[in-house]
Amino acid sequence: MFYEPRKKNHSLPHDPFKALVGPRPIGWISTLSKEGVPNLSPYSFFNAFSDHPAILGFSSWGWKDSANNARDTGEFVVNVVMKSDLDRMNQSSAPYPSEVNEFEAAGIGMVPSTFVKPPRVEGVGAAFECKVTQIIPMTGHDGREAAYHLVLGEAVGIYIDDRFITDGKVDEAGMQLLARLGYMNYAAVENVFSLKRPTI
Ligand SMILES: Cc1cc2nc3c(=O)[nH]c(=O)nc-3n(C[C@H](O)[C@H](O)[C@H](O)COP(=O)(O)O)c2cc1C
């Protein structure tokens, strides 16, 4: 089959787009509002885009609280999501109003960060403390405004739970990193294999 995304002429009951761009890592974003209310929500339009400097970003449909707070305060924390975090991560995606402390509402503990004000999630395998570098209002090829805003930030500090460092490496399979697929589907990293790059 072939379809044009703008026309949605795929004739399938559900939009296949996200199923084809997967697995997507999940950035579990903690922020503080300018009034200081803690906020926590998962974003799978999320990735790293540079390692020197370490730039990560998430994309918000409209101005959700995480994007608003990152814009207002210039800071956010990306918490890495493991399979064991599935239920609490999902709970934190509920549409709580902005004045609600989403850590409290979802029964999730907070741990102070080192360089930024938003806390990280208690018990996570890793977290990136980020300072906002750019907020990009995306457009389509015709210049028409997209509904999404891309929030980019530089990780100025990175926390790793020492339990997940084995023989000098991050134990990716041990963390069972969680990823989003299409529809309501998820995947967890459970089998890891290595491959050397070719030389010429
Ligand atoms: C796994 C997962 C991934 C999500 N990814 C996104 C995303 O990339 N962009 C987005 O706008 N919403 C995404 N959502 C929905 C938001 O998490 C949800 O709207 C949340 O209430 C936003 O909270 P906030 O207003 O506190 O930022 C996702 C939800 C889940 C469960």
Going by CA atoms, what residue is nearest to atom 9 of ligand 1?
Answer: 60
Q: Answer yes or no: pTM beyond 0.75.
A: yes
| pLDDT tier at 119, thresholds 50, 70, 90 | very high
Residues with CB under 6 A from ligand 1: 26, 39, 41-45, 59-61, 64-66, 90, 93, 95, 180
Query: Total domain count for the chain?
Result: 1
Going by CA atoms, what residue is nearest to atom 15 of ligand 1?
Answer: 93
Whether 4 and 27 have beta carbons less than 8 Å apart is answered as no
Specify if 179 maps to a domain.
yes
| pLDDT tier at 45, thresholds 50, 70, 90 | very high
pLDDT for res 58:
98
Specify if 158 maps to a domain.
yes
Specify if 193 maps to a domain.
no
> Per-residue pLDDT averaged across 75-79, rounded?
98
Specify if 53 maps to a domain.
yes
Domain with residue 62: its CATH number is 2.30.110.10
Rounded CA-CA distance 96/79 in Å is: 19
Q: Which atom of ligand 1 is nearest to the CA of 186?
A: 1
Residue 66 structure tokens: 């995480």
Specify if 177 maps to a domain.
yes
pLDDT for res 67:
98
> Per-residue pLDDT averaged across 12-26, rounded?
97
